[in-house]
Amino acid sequence: MSREDESPKIAVLFGTRPELIKLAPVISAAKRLGIQTVTISSSQHTDLLKPFIDAFSIKIDHDLRVMRPGQSPNDVASRGIARLDSVLKEIGPDLLVVQGDTTTALAGAIAAFNLGIKVGHVEAGLRSGNPRNPFPEEMNRRLISRLADLHFAATRQNRETLLVEGVPSKNIAVTGNPVVDSLLFFAKTAKPNPDLAKMLDMTKGSRRILLTTHRRESFGKTMEGNLKVLRDFIASRPDTSLFFPVHLNPNVRKVTKEVLGGAERIFLLEPLGYSDFIALIQGSWLIVSDSGGVQEEAPSLGKPLLVIRANTERPEAIEAGVAKLVGSSSKSLKRHLEEVNGDETWIRSVKKQKNPFGDGKAAERIASFIQRKI
């Protein structure tokens, strides 16, 4: 639905914190090129999203309000598709841009496809190799690739994956990951809020470990075991401390309170704003995480990362030597912690490694590719 008498129009859909972090630079870059840009929020994660909307000065043009307590992926998908149907008809975009592998992104790709609207996929071509791990993200991203028209691959390895799956080369752009754009922008001025600044001051001189864990495959015994290992590691080493921004999911908060509540030198935080989170990364000695986004953020800021997952769709970080894949066993996490505690050679080497996820110009490349193709 190209327009001869006016500039192209895109709709940009997001619903979670990582989506907004990676799409905010794309929105800005598209507007700079004169592309009409309409924003849609699914509000899949309402409370986690708002601080980032404020931080990036994003104006939401349409809010689908799909969030419900205890919602399942099917709940999000069904409400998202139904509400997008009327919104996309009203907007009439040339392209819908989605990011990553969330249920919001999949719902958007399905809704746009069914309406004959082209789909652009930011962070295309990631694969873990296991359709059910991470769940449902791995299958979401595979399905989006089948529906998408334009594929913005962060790395050449992602591009090769798409080519093997039959995506035409002309529809793929290797752009880098726009998370690097956001990180480099905010890192220049990132300052912790007063409460976090006080905690950082209290732990000055200690080796700080930053933990993030929230994925479904980590729930239950896996998360409990990992938290116990970290609790015991901190307790036995007085020169260490742990900072954990606790996800709002009840499955995370319950076990966190049971295992880590009241432990010395362990700081349980509410979800952080982006500048706070970057400041915390910058002040950390080591990061432990099951997050996909943190696998990009840590190496972008030169910080070593232990990935507490069975597999990863971001092998570039492992191959570059900035991250280590621990697996889902708490015994393996304990062994890795003891190894880095006894020998910091790897810790020190990470700062010297080249960032495998780009140079901070991904959004410009994405917007330029959109402009050429629509």
How far are the Cα atoms of 136, 287, 337, 345, 356 from residue 340, in angstroms, in the given order? 32, 12, 5, 8, 22
Q: Count CA atoms closer than 13 A to 42's CA, side-chain side.
A: 35
**CA 284 centroid distance within chain:** 19
CA-nearest of 42, 35, 36, 34 to 13 is 42
Cis peptide leading into 245, omega within 30 of 0?
Answer: no
The two tokens of residue 373 are 């193709």
The two tokens of residue 93 are 């975009």
Q: Do residues 206 and 240 lie in contact, with contact meaning Cβ atoms separated by under 8 Å? A: yes
Catalytic residues: 101, 123, 137, 214, 216, 247
The two tokens of residue 249 are 């999911």
CA-nearest of 101, 169, 108, 178 to 140 is 101
The three-point CA angle 276-280-281 to 5° equals 120
Judge residue 72's burial from the number of C-beta atoms within 10 Å of its C-beta, 0-12 exposed, 13-18 middle, 19 or more buried. Answer: exposed
